[in-house]
Structures are given as C-alpha cells and as structure tokens.
C-alpha cells in the first residue's frame, strides 16, 4: 500500500507533539519547584539548622 507522504509526515508530527496532559503536568511540576525554591530562599538564617562543631583529635 502506498501512503501519501504528506499524511505520513503529519501523523509522525502529531505523535511527536506533547499531549495536553503532559504539558499540564509539566507546567504544574515547574510551578511547584519554583514555589519551593522561593520559599526556601525566604527562610531566615535563624531557621536554618546549626552546624555541629566537632573538636580535632
């Protein structure tokens, strides 16, 4: 059977394009990561855990 080259290429292009669900999930993940990074940057040094000082042997 012969395929029209244009339809074959458009089918492959459609398969390669990310789906709406994938785009939504990706944008949510990026949003969550950015929000967490901003919250982490806003922490004051007093809230950060103190480093333990260990004496030399």
pLDDT at residue number 42: 72
User: 29 lies in which domain range?
Assistant: 8-36
Inside any domain, residue 21: yes
Cα 3 to Cα 12: distance, rounded to the nearest angstrom: 13
How many domains, the chain? 1
Cα 43 → chain centroid: 23
Cα 53 to Cα 47: distance, rounded to the nearest angstrom: 18
Inside any domain, residue 24: yes
Inside any domain, residue 13: yes
**What global pTM score does this model have?**
0.46
Could you report the average pLDDT of every consecutive run of 10 residues in the chain (57 residues)? 60 76 92 90 64 76
Inside any domain, residue 17: yes
């Amino acid at each position: 059977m012969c395929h029209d080259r244009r339809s074959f290429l458009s089918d492959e292009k459609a398969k390669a394009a990310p789906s709406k669900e994938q785009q939504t999930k990706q944008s949510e993940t990026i949003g969550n990561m950015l929000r967490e990074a901003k919250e982490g940057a806003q922490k004051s040094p007093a809230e950060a855990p103190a480093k333990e000082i260990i004496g030399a042997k």
